Amino acid sequence: MNHLSVKPLRAGVVGMGIGRHHARAYQDLKDTELVAICDVNADRLEQIGALFPNVARYSDYHALFAEAGLDLVSVAVPNILHAEITIAALEAGLHVVCEKPLAVDVAAAEAIVQAAERARGKLTVCYDKRYRADAQWLRRAVASSTLGDIYHVEAGWKRETGIPGGWFVQKAMSGGGPLIDLGVHVLDIALWVLGFPAVKTVSGVTRAVFGPAGRKTWGTKTGDGSRYEVEDGAVGMLRLEGNVPMLLEASWADHRRPGEDDMYFRFSGSKAAAVVHVRNYTQEDTLRLYTEIDGIAVEATPRLHPPDPSGHAGLLADFVRAIRMDDAPPAPASQGLATVRVLDAFYRSAATGREVALE
Ligand SMILES: NC(=O)c1ccc[n+]([C@@H]2O[C@H](COP(=O)([O-])OP(=O)(O)OC[C@H]3O[C@@H](n4cnc5c(N)ncnc54)[C@H](O)[C@@H]3O)[C@@H](O)[C@H]2O)c1
């Protein structure tokens, strides 16, 4: 392929919250051109639009898909709208980046999978945290058996104070609280690192200690009068194929180190254990390796270099590469569905107080 003769992909973004980071990445990437943004909130569209001069603005995604001549679109709207807008984009022949979670429930996620199978365009779920150096290393270390046979897994994301407001706390809009918001990222990374083993059973407990009392909420997004309808913390155990236990935790609010907003992973294997502790989104010094050398316990600190680009830009660059090379997308809809199935089972377990078996 001669890159000099290939025109950049024309990209658009629906939803100008986190979507503004997608827009910035499309502007910065060599092989994409940001041509349009879309939001139903006129004030937001104007405010964010000012950051992107010469980029068309739309308030209606139907018009965006029909008129803007897009090749590629990011869908970064409240969770409940992922299925509707993603399916419309696929049916319009576009390549789609759908923000996490793929959908709020299994039926909607399955509808997206089916639409993606019919579509000309490709779809990736926006699992940007996979593009961290530590996550990439974990995946390589498990694939190459550096850790040996994995017998125990932990994944979690815990905030001390971090209850968002608005639609995030409305069950019908979000599908749930920190489990579907933050837990989906660490669950995805754990399953991706392990090569998507079957999840046999899920047993989970959710709580809502702070949210209903209006405590430990986040800045300006709060105080808007929305009813608090979701959990603010979740703890569960998954049984993976091979009878491997995986602990999964997520919280928006908890009595912890002030300001804590930490992601962590443990993969314990017969040869070594890898532990990742990400303090407040840092990229530095997050990984420790525990093993034995000649019968003596050893702690090692691998030096990692963040990939460039990383995060959202890393994912979008990888997706554009997959489009150009006609490769599988980085996080296909089937992988998005796999996590939605587990989260659905987790919430059912929490509601019934029983372990839930997955097919
Ligand atoms: N990958 C990540 O790290 C990450 C981070 C934050 C949010 N997210 C995900 O991104 C999505 C959006 O979250 P957010 O924090 O940006 O929320 P947000 O509420 O800040 O922004 C969503 C935007 O979508 C707009 N919108 C709503 N309905 C629309 C429609 N029909 N057409 C066009 N625009 C519409 C809203 O007006 C709003 O501006 C969620 O699914 C969330 O889970 C992912």
Domain ranges of the chain: 3-128+311-331, 130-310+340-357
Confidence at 41, pLDDT banded by 50, 70, 90? very high
Cα 161 to ligand 1 centroid, rounded to whole Å: 21
Q: Whose CA is nearest to atom 6 of ligand 1?
A: 18
* CB of 261 sitting under 6 A from ligand 1: no
What is the predicted pLDDT for the residue at 178? 98
* CB of 92 sitting under 6 A from ligand 1: no
Report the C-alpha gap between 56 and 73 in whole angstroms.
14
Of the candidate ranges 189-198, 203-212, 222-231, the one whose mean pLDDT is the lowest: 222-231
Contact between residue 163 and residue 280 where contact means Cβ atoms under 8 Å apart:
no
Of the candidate ranges 127-131, 166-170, 307-311, the one whose mean pLDDT is the lowest: 307-311
Q: Whose CA is nearest to atom 36 of ligand 1?
A: 15
* Residues shown for the chain: 359
Q: What is the mean pLDDT of the chain?
A: 95
pLDDT digits (tens, 9 = 90+) for 51-86: 999 999 999 999 999 999 999 999 999 999 999 999
Mutate to test the pocket of ligand 1, among 22, 37, 39, 73 (most ligand atoms within 8 A of CB): 39
Q: Whose CA is nearest to atom 4 of ligand 1?
A: 18
Cα 88 to ligand 1 centroid, rounded to whole Å: 17
Cα 15 to ligand 1 centroid, rounded to whole Å: 5
* CB of 182 sitting under 6 A from ligand 1: no
User: How far from chain centre, in Å, is Cα 183?
Assistant: 9
121: Cβ–Cβ under 8 A, 6 or more apart, which residues? 72, 89, 90, 93, 94, 95, 96
Which residue type, as a one-letter code, is found at position 321? Answer: R
Contact between residue 51 and residue 21 where contact means Cβ atoms under 8 Å apart:
no
CATH architecture of the domain 130-310+340-357 equals: 2-Layer Sandwich (3.30)
Cα 167 to ligand 1 centroid, rounded to whole Å: 9
Identify the residue whose tokens are 């104007």. Answer: 46
Contact between residue 72 and residue 32 where contact means Cβ atoms under 8 Å apart:
yes
Identify the residue whose tokens are 């995805």. Answer: 188
pTM equals 0.96
Fold of 3-128+311-331: Rossmann fold (3.40.50)
Report the C-alpha gap between 306 and 284 in whole angstroms.
8
* CB of 39 sitting under 6 A from ligand 1: yes
> Measured from the CA of 41, which atom of ligand 1 is nearest?
37
Both tokens assigned to 74: 């990011």
Helix (H) or strand (E) holding 74: strand 72-75
Which residue type, as a one-letter code, is found at position 197? Answer: P
* CB of 79 sitting under 6 A from ligand 1: yes
Q: Whose CA is nearest to atom 40 of ligand 1?
A: 78
